[in-house]
Structure 1
Amino acid sequence: MRLTRYSDFSLRVLLYLAARGDRLCSISEMASAYGISHNHLMKVLHDLGKAGYVSAARGRMGGFRLARPASEIQVGALLRHTEDDFDLVDCPGCALSAGCGVSPVLDEAMVAFFAVLDGYTLADIIERRHGFHRLILSLAPADRGSAAGLS
């Protein structure tokens, strides 16, 4: 199984914003930090905003921040939102589908996969590894004049 780039970008953006607390971050800043297309991130952030993960402030000093605390954003819920399909194989198109034993095993594995992911929030991921928070913060260009300090 492999997650799409869209899910990868969504998770990266949310981790970036989570590490910055309430500071507004621009699309250009995040695109530069990760080496990701500005246009791709615009699409990702628009979708994450509609889904209630991020909020936006318009204007010259505007940008994006998490819409709710990182401790309330489950990784499993995010991936359910960003991924279209979790079918690991094309069971309906298979000649063995009527009596196959693989499908229930894969379904059980998918339930276990999400059970693990549902046990983690963005805050958990940032705190999980020593130095990870600092690493994410190091990706940022110089502060754009925000009054909020970073720690």
Structure 2
Amino acid sequence: MRLTLHTDYALRLLMHLALAPERRVTIAEVSDAFAISRNHLTKVAHELGKAGFVETLRGRGGGLRLARPAEEILVGDVVRAMEEDFRIVECFDREANECCIAPACRLKRLLKEALDAWLAVLDGATLGDLVANPRPLRRLLALAG
């Protein structure tokens, strides 16, 4: 299993917001902290807003903040919202599957079980769990507190 960069950035952005729940955070601040593209991060923030994880406010005094407490945001939900698909092999796509062994292959079932188990582990963790020990993260991101 591999996450896209889009999902990786989404999780990092959410962690950053969870470390500063008392204020709005700017795209520039997160971009600088992680040394990632502001343009890409803007797209990520937009998607997180559409998915209901982030509230955005434009203009002077604007920024981002979590739409709900970090303890209520499941990592698995974020991953499902950000990833385009989970077709990890050709046969997961019924329309495009041209694998000649698909009718007799047991690999698909095994991979589906692995994917389900992977997502179940992610569902067992919240954003709050990821920032439960904030001091090292705050230090690495140069955040006060």
TM-score, normalised to structure 1, is 0.87
User: How many angstroms apart in 1 are the aligned matches of 2:65 and 2:142?
Assistant: 14
**Looking at both structures, which has the greater relative contact order when contacts are Cα pairs under 8 Å and sequence separation is at least 6?**
1
Aligned runs of 1:21-32 on 2, under 5 Å? 21-32=21-32
Q: Does 1:133 align with 2:134?
A: yes
Match of 1:96 in 2: 101
Task: Name the SS for the 2:128 alignment partner.
Answer: helix
Match of 1:146 in 2: none
Match of 2:124 in 1: 119
The answer (yes or no) to whether the contact 1:22–1:66 under 8 Å persists in 2 is no
User: How many angstroms apart in 1 are the aligned matches of 2:44 and 2:136?
Assistant: 22
Deviation (angstroms), 1:37: 0.5
User: How many angstroms apart in 2 are the aligned matches of 1:93 and 1:69?
Assistant: 45
Deviation (angstroms), 1:136: 2.6
Gap regions ≥5 residues in structure 1: 142-149
User: How many angstroms apart in 1 are the aligned matches of 2:30 and 2:57?
Assistant: 15
**Aligned residue pairs: how many?**
139
Task: Name the SS for the 1:3 alignment partner.
Answer: coil
Q: Percent identity?
A: 47
Give the RMSD, CA atoms, in angstroms.
1.4
Q: Which runs of 4+ in 1 moved over 3 A?
A: none
Match of 2:71 in 1: 71
Deviation (angstroms), 1:140: 3.9
Deviation (angstroms), 1:59: 2.6
User: How many angstroms apart in 2 are the aligned matches of 1:137 and 1:57?
Assistant: 24
TM-score, normalised to structure 2, is 0.90
User: How many angstroms apart in 1 are the aligned matches of 2:10 and 2:33?
Assistant: 14
User: How many angstroms apart in 1 are the aligned matches of 2:52 and 2:136?
Assistant: 26
Deviation (angstroms), 1:84: 1.1
1:38 partner letter: R
2:42 partner letter: M
Deviation (angstroms), 1:120: 0.4
